[in-house]
Structure 1
Amino acid sequence: MGSDNTERTRATPPKRKRGGLRWLSGYPLVLVFIAGSYWVTAFQDTDNLRAIVLLIQLVTVAIVFHTVRLRRSIQRVSWWVLGSSMVLSIAVLISGLVSQTLDVVLAIAVTLAYLVAPVVILSTELRRQKTDQQTLFAVVCTYLFIGMFFTYFYHALALWTPEPIFAGGQPDHLTNIVFFSFTTLTTIGYGNMIPAGAGVQSIAIGEAITGQLFLIIAVAHVASGWSHALRNPTQ
Structure 2
Amino acid sequence: MVFALLLASFVVAGMLDGLLARLITLLFYVGVLVLALRFARLPIGTARWLRRALLAGSVLIAVLVLVLHGRVIEGIAALWTAGFLLLTVFVVVGRVLRHPVVTMQTIFGALSAYLMVGFVFVALFTAAARLGPGQFFTGDETADGDSIQYFAFVTLTTTGYGDLTPATAPGRSLAVLDALCGQIFLVTLVARLVSVFGVERRRPGDDAAA
TM class by shorter chain equals 0.7 to 0.9
CA distance in 2, matches of 1:43, 1:171: 16
The worse-fitting range, judged by mean Cα deviation, of 146-155 and 60-69 is: 60-69
1:165 Cα shift? 1.7
C-alpha spacing 1:195/1:47, structure 2 compared with 1 (3 Å): farther
The worse-fitting range, judged by mean Cα deviation, of 107-116 and 143-152 is: 107-116
1:103 Cα shift? 1.7
1:145 Cα shift? 0.4
Consecutive unaligned residues of structure 1, counting only runs of 5 or more, are 1-28, 231-235
1:160 Cα shift? 0.7
1:74 Cα shift? 2.2
Q: Does 1:140 align with 2:111?
A: yes
Q: Is the CA contact 2:6–2:28 (under 8 Å) kept in the aligned structure 1? A: no
Match of 1:110 in 2: 81
1:102 Cα shift? 2.5
Q: Does 1:181 align with 2:158?
A: no
CA distance in 2, matches of 1:176, 1:198: 18
1:122 to 90, 93, 98: 93
Rg larger in 1 or in 2?
Answer: 1
Query: What whole-Å deviation, never above 9, does each CA across 1:185-230 have from its counterpart, x for those lacking one?
Result: 0011111101113321121111111111111112442144337449
Q: Is the CA contact 2:137–2:143 (under 8 Å) kept in the aligned structure 1? A: yes
2:172 to 201, 205, 208: 201
CA distance in 1, matches of 2:134, 2:16: 20
C-alpha spacing 1:47/1:153, structure 2 compared with 1 (3 Å): farther
CA distance in 1, matches of 2:75, 2:176: 23
1:49 Cα shift? 6.7
C-alpha spacing 1:227/1:103, structure 2 compared with 1 (3 Å): closer
CA distance in 2, matches of 1:227, 1:67: 21
Match of 1:43 in 2: 15
Counterpart residue identity of residue 167, structure 2? A
Q: Is the CA contact 2:122–2:149 (under 8 Å) kept in the aligned structure 1? A: yes
CA distance in 2, matches of 1:168, 1:44: 23
Counterpart residue identity of residue 143, structure 2? D
CA distance in 1, matches of 2:81, 2:74: 11
Cα RMSD between the aligned structures?
2.4
Query: What whole-Å deviation, never above 9, does each CA across 1:92-127 have from its counterpart, x for those lacking one?
Result: 57x644233332222111111211111111112212
1:59 Cα shift? 1.9
TM (norm. structure 2) is 0.85
Q: Is the CA contact 2:13–2:22 (under 8 Å) kept in the aligned structure 1? A: no
CA distance in 1, matches of 2:194, 2:84: 29
CA distance in 1, matches of 2:168, 2:73: 25
Match of 1:98 in 2: 69
Q: Is the CA contact 1:125–1:135 (under 8 Å) kept in the aligned structure 2? A: yes
Q: What SS does the aligned partner of 2:135 have?
A: coil
Match of 1:57 in 2: 29
Q: What SS does the aligned partner of 2:138 have?
A: coil
CA distance in 1, matches of 2:176, 2:73: 29
CA distance in 2, matches of 1:41, 1:219: 25
Q: Does 1:88 align with 2:88?
A: no
CA distance in 2, matches of 1:126, 1:228: 13
CA distance in 1, matches of 2:62, 2:17: 21
Query: What whole-Å deviation, never above 9, does each CA across 1:135-170 have from its counterpart, x for those lacking one?
Result: 111111011000000001000111111222211111
